[in-house]
Every structure is written in structure tokens, then in C-alpha cells.
């Protein structure tokens, strides 16, 4: 069975996480894996989560199976968080299931697409999250890309993107990032979402929106603009969500997959396939993390506390976007990094060369993905000067 195998390649993001943790240099900086870090370089458990967990452990009365869709209370809360008061919800056109993380949600979406439309191609932005193509290919689907990020202008290649998407046929799937595009930090504006909605309607392709960072760009509602617009405008949509980042619940693996169908009757049928896809995969999701999220969202006080903790995480990242740009300028770095301050979410491409990325790691203990994707949340008052000095050194002509 195994004797003929060569070792599988190391995951470029998770491999970096392991390499960083083995580095014993005290001045090292982790700008790699997409986890939030506070001023102490720590990924904290939110106070709202701690309190919800305490309440759960006091009040929980059973650990019996939870069912294929997970906790109905969690799913209903997630529907409201993602879609607000979108008509699709009141029209009973949405079916949601809790999944093990956002990646689990994507894999269920992929298997469901394979079941419904085995020949569908899934179109992804160039670039996209490194694991996106792998998840969809593992489900047996064909993956292709559409232009998205222009490295020369550090912005959206809108014309090229719409040109490529105008050729996507009916029945194919177009994967979109709701906000905080991973890896570029460049997001679609409302007018881009509106144009996409019209194209999907006219051409008959189905958007799949990955919303892994709701609340990390502007606020919960603005960050969900695209998914809400598409849910109301289109007969069919798939979207996935994650509670890893906005609730800081990474290792609890909490996400959800939602399908929006043309009417209530078709939604019931689509849901039956969603659930049977889940049953074939892992039978049912773990409950603990989802029940924490449901507890927070169902309690006005805890929800308010969570919202302010979420705002603090978002503000800290945006502050460091700003500080990074101004400190590099003050250090005499000639290259213009002002785009970092215009982008949103955890990531931006620094746009530096592979040799410079390697020098940052080897000489200065600064870790980032080989594409130059940097997690801005890894910066803090204690390491910013080291980062700026290192950048100024490797960028010296």
C-alpha cells in the first residue's frame, strides 16, 4: 500500500508555521499563517468565547449525536449573520449546515457540486487561497482561474476579470471571496458585485462565495454585501463561512455551508443532498465550537462584547497597515508601499523578490509565504522596528 510512495509536498502555509515554531531566535516574526495576533504576539481566546464556554459547561446536559446539519440554533444564527434580513431567508430559500471549519464547508460544497454537476468547472481568482484549488480538485472537479490581482498596480484587474468571466458557461461555478481577499487584500467593490450578479443571471453560472473573514474588513454588514446581493438577485448560490478568524475559534473547526435554491421546495431537496454529502464524508460535525458561537450570538450582552472584540482585532490590523507604510517611508525605503494601507484583511503581498523573502527569513527570522503574502496581524510595537530595519536592508539597491 505505502511502499511505492514519495513524501507528499509540505503545505506552503502550514509548513511555514512548523518552521517558525522550530526557530529559536528571540527576534523572529511570524507573518505566515493566517491567525490573528495581539500586541504580545499571542492568539488570544476572546473573553466572549471564554464566558460562552463557561455557560455551556454549566448548562450542557447531553453529548448525544447532533445530526448531519449540526446545531439548528447555530445554523439559524449563522444565516442571520451572513444574510441579515435578505429576502432569500424569509422566502425559505436557504439551507445551512455546520461543518468542521471553513475548509470543511468548501469540501462539502465541492462534493455537492460534483454530485449535482459532475462536469462543472470551478473558476477561481488568480491568485487565490493556496488550498482552494486542492480542495476542489480532490472532489474530482476541474479548476480554472480568472484574472484578479495586478501585481504592478497592487489592485484589481477588473476589466480582465469581467472579460474572462463573460465566457463562463451556464452550470459552471465561480468562486469569489466575500471580503479580505486571501492572499491579496484586494476586494470587490459594490459595483463589481452588482455586475457579477447581472452576469450570473444572464449566463447562468453559479457563484460560490467564500466568506472566511466577515467583520475583518469594515463591519459585519458591509463585509457581507456581496453574498447578500447575490442571495437576493439569483435563483441559486452557494456560500461558505468560517468562525475561525472572527471568533478566534481556529482549532475548534467551525464553519458552515449554505445553499440558496430557487424556491422553498427546491431548497428542501437541495438540503437533502447537502445532508447526504455530509453523511458520506464525516457523518456529522463536532458540536462544541458551534454551540459556543450560538451562545454568543443568541445573547445580547455576549454579542455586544464579541462585536467590540472583533472591532478591536480589525482596528489593530488596520493600524499596523498604516504604521507599516509610514515607518517604511520614514526609514528611507524608496519603494511605495502605500497600497498596504488601502487593502483589507490579514494579508497583502509585499511584492518583494523570492531572494528578499529568503533573506528576511534567514538573516532576520521574518517568516512569510513564498508569494510575499504577509499576515499584517503578526506585527506589534515590539517587532515593528526590526521588521522595518530588515525590509530597509533587503530592499537596499
Q: How many C-beta atoms surround the C-beta of residue 14 within 10 A?
A: 13
Q: How far is the CB of 381 from ligand LMR (least distance, A)?
A: 23
Cell triple for residue 343?
487593502
Residues 174-203 that bind ligand LMR (CB under 6 A): 182
* Closer of 34 and 185 to ligand LMR (Cβ): 34
- Is 239 among the residues that bind ligand LMR (CB under 6 A)? no
- Is 34 among the residues that bind ligand LMR (CB under 6 A)? yes
- Which residue number is nearest to ligand LMR in terms of Cβ? 34
Binding ligand LMR by CB under 6 A: which of 31, 33, 97, 374?
33
Q: How many residues does the chain have?
A: 397
* Closer of 93 and 248 to ligand LMR (Cβ): 248
Residue 129 is among the residues annotated as catalytic for this protein: yes
Helices (H), the chain: 14-22, 47-59, 72-83, 87-90, 101-116, 131-138, 158-165, 190-203, 220-223, 225-233, 264-281, 288-297, 300-330, 339-342, 354-364, 384-394
Q: 211 - beta bridge partners?
A: 241
Cα-Cα end-to-end distance for the chain: 53
Largest CA distance in the chain: 65
Cell triple for residue 114?
460534483
Judge contact between 338 and 325, C-beta under 8 A: yes
- Is 348 among the residues that bind ligand LMR (CB under 6 A)? no
Q: How far is the CB of 125 from ligand LMR (least distance, A)?
A: 14
Q: How far is the CB of 44 from ligand LMR (least distance, A)?
A: 17
* Closer of 131 and 348 to ligand LMR (Cβ): 131
* Closer of 261 and 368 to ligand LMR (Cβ): 368
Using CA atoms, how far residue 37 sits from 42, 147, 159, 377, in Å, is 5, 31, 36, 6
Judge contact between 32 and 246, C-beta under 8 A: no
Judge contact between 31 and 274, C-beta under 8 A: no
Binding ligand LMR by CB under 6 A: which of 74, 129, 216, 239?
129
Q: How many residues bind ligand LMR (CB under 6 A)?
A: 6
Active-site residue among 71, 111, 172, 210?
A: 210
Residue 245 is among the residues annotated as catalytic for this protein: yes
Binding ligand LMR by CB under 6 A: which of 75, 128, 131, 371?
131
* Closer of 129 and 339 to ligand LMR (Cβ): 129
Q: How far is the CB of 34 from ligand LMR (least distance, A)?
A: 3
Q: How far is the CB of 197 from ligand LMR (least distance, A)?
A: 26
Q: 375 - beta bridge partners?
A: 347
Cell triple for residue 15?
509548513
Judge contact between 273 and 286, C-beta under 8 A: no
Residue 145 is among the residues annotated as catalytic for this protein: no
Active-site residue among 193, 245, 271, 306?
A: 245
Residues 46-85 that bind ligand LMR (CB under 6 A): none
Q: How far is the CB of 143 from ligand LMR (least distance, A)?
A: 17
Cell triple for residue 93?
430559500
Beta strands in 243-285 (DSSP E): 255-260
Catalytic site positions: 129, 210, 245
Contact residues toward ligand LMR (CB under 6 A) are: 13, 33-34, 129, 131, 182
Amino acid at each position: 500500500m505505502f511502499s511505492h510512495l514519495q513524501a507528499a509536498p509540505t503545505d506552503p502555509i502550514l509548513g511555514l508555521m512548523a518552521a517558525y515554531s522550530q526557530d529559536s531566535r528571540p527576534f523572529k516574526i511570524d507573518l505566515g499563517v493566517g491567525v490573528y495576533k495581539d500586541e504580545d504576539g499571542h492568539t488570544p481566546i476572546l473573553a466572549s468565547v471564554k464566558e460562552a464556554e463557561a455557560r455551556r459547561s454549566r448548562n450542557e446536559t447531553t453529548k448525544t449525536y447532533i445530526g448531519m446539519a449540526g446545531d439548528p440554533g447555530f445554523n439559524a444564527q449563522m444565516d442571520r449573520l451572513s444574510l441579515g434580513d435578505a429576502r432569500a431567508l424569509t422566502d425559505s430559500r436557504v439551507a445551512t449546515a455546520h461543518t468542521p471549519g471553513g475548509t470543511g464547508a468548501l469540501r462539502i460544497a465541492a462534493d455537492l457540486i460534483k454530485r449535482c454537476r459532475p462536469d462543472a468547472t470551478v473558476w477561481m481568482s488568480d491568485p487565490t487561497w493556496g488550498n482552494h484549488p486542492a480542495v476542489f480538485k480532490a472532489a474530482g472537479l476541474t479548476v480554472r482561474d480568472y484574472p484578479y490581482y495586478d501585481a504592478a498596480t497592487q489592485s484589481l484587474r477588473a476589466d480582465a476579470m469581467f472579460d474572462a468571466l463573460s465566457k463562463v458557461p451556464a452550470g459552471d461555478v465561480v468562486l469569489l471571496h466575500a471580503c479580505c481577499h486571501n492572499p491579496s487584500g484586494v476586494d470587490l467593490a459594490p459595483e463589481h458585485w452588482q455586475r457579477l450578479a447581472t452576469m450570473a443571471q444572464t449566463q447562468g453560472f453559479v457563484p460560490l462565495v467564500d466568506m472566511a473573514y466577515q467583520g475583518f474588513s469594515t463591519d459585519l454588514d458591509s463585509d457581507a454585501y456581496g453574498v447578500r446581493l447575490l442571495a437576493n438577485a439569483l435563483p441559486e448560490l452557494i456560500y461558505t463561512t468560517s468562525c475561525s478568524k472572527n471568533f478566534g475559534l481556529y482549532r475548534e473547526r467551525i464553519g458552515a455551508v449554505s445553499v440558496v435554491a430557487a424556491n422553498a421546495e427546491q431548497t428542501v431537496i437541495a438540503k437533502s443532498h447537502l445532508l447526504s454529502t455530509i453523511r458520506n464524508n464525516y457523518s456529522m460535525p463536532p458540536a462544541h465550537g458551534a454551540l459556543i458561537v450560538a451562545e454568543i450570538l443568541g445573547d445580547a450582552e455576549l454579542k455586544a462584547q464579541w462585536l467590540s472584540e472583533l472591532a478591536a482585532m480589525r482596528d489593530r490590523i488596520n493600524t499596523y497597515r498604516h504604521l507599516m507604510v509610514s515607518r517604511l517611508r520614514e526609514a528611507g525605503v524608496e519603494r511605495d508601499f502605500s497600497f498596504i494601507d488601502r487593502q483589507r484583511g490579514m494579508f497583502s503581498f509585499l511584492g518583494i523578490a523570492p531572494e528578499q523573502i529568503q533573506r528576511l527569513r534567514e538573516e532576520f527570522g521574518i517568516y512569510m509565504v513564498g508569494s510575499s503574502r504577509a499576515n499584517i496581524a503578526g506585527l506589534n510595537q515590539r517587532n515593528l522596528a526590526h521588521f522595518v530595519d530588515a525590509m530597509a536592508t533587503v530592499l537596499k539597491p
